[in-house]
Amino acid sequence: MLRASTGAVPVRRACTRAAALNRDVSGDVAAVFVLTIARAGFTRDPAGAARGYRHTFLEVGMTGERLYLKAGALGLGVCAVGTFYDDEAAALVGIDPTPEWPVHFVTLGWPA
């Protein structure tokens, strides 16, 4: 249900910071992962849409967890950001927010 981007989306730090409610942690980092979900994935779950909703967000959480684990192993700083403007986040990664939702930012950088 998660879609991996095949290439980096070039964005300016100011746009990234603005999308994440002007938090420095989103603008002053080396990389920002914007995790998105496909709305249609909810209804594709054999157990129904309610279960699909839960499974989708569990998958997002596990992806964020893997980013934390890998970043820690590499000595990088990592910070999850769950508050952001939906439309601005969608524009950052070039998606249409109607069929696909941005749901989570994970920032990576060097510890201070």
CA torsion angle for 56, 53, 78, 25 (degrees, to 10)?
130
Residue 108, token pair as written in the block: 């990576």
Q: Which amino acid does the sequence have at 10?
A: P
Q: How confident is the model at residue 100 (pLDDT cuts 50, 70, 90)?
A: very high
Structural domains of the chain, with CATH: 17-109 (3.40.109.10)
Q: Is the pLDDT of residue 28 over 90?
A: no
Three-state SS for 28? coil
Averaged pLDDT for residues 38-60: 85
Q: What is the pLDDT of residue 1?
A: 37
Q: How confident is the model at residue 73 (pLDDT cuts 50, 70, 90)?
A: very high
Q: What is the pLDDT of residue 49?
A: 83
Q: Model's pTM, two decimal places?
A: 0.78
Q: Residue ranges of the alpha helices (H) in the chain? A: 13-19, 24-27, 40-44, 49-73, 86-93
Three-state SS for 47? coil
Residue with tokens 């730090």: 13
